[in-house]
Amino acid sequence: MTTADTRTLAIACGSTRLNAELFLPARPSALVILAHAGPNPEARDDALAVVLRHAGIGTLSFDLLSSSEERFADNHHNVSLLASRLLDGLALLKQQMLLEELPTLPIGLSGAADCSPVVVRAAAIRDRDIFAIVCRGGLIDLAGMLYLHTLISPLLVLVGESEQRVEASNWRALRELAGRKELKRLPASADAPASAAAFEWVARETARWFVHHLPTAVRTKRA
pLDDT given at position 127: 83
From first to last of its 223 residues, what are the pLDDT tens digits of the chain?
Answer: 567 788 999 999 988 999 999 999 988 999 999 999 876 554 567 788 889 988 999 999 999 998 888 888 888 899 999 999 999 999 999 999 999 999 999 999 999 999 999 999 999 999 889 999 999 989 999 999 999 999 999 999 999 877 788 999 999 999 999 889 999 998 766 555 567 777 888 899 999 999 999 864 344 343 3
pLDDT given at position 65: 93
Q: What is the pTM for the complete model shown?
A: 0.90
pLDDT given at position 192: 59
pLDDT given at position 64: 95
Cα 168 from Cα 131, distance rounded (Å): 25
- Domain locations in the chain as residue ranges: 5-222
Strand order in the sheet with 107-112: 5-13, 16-24, 57-63, 30-36, 107-112, 130-136, 155-159, 181-185
Q: Which CATH superfamily is domain 5-222 in?
A: Alpha/Beta hydrolase fold, catalytic domain (3.40.50.1820)
pLDDT given at position 2: 61
pLDDT given at position 218: 44
pLDDT given at position 40: 57
Cα 27 from Cα 45, distance rounded (Å): 22
Phi and psi at 8, nearest 5°, equal -105, 130
pLDDT given at position 175: 95
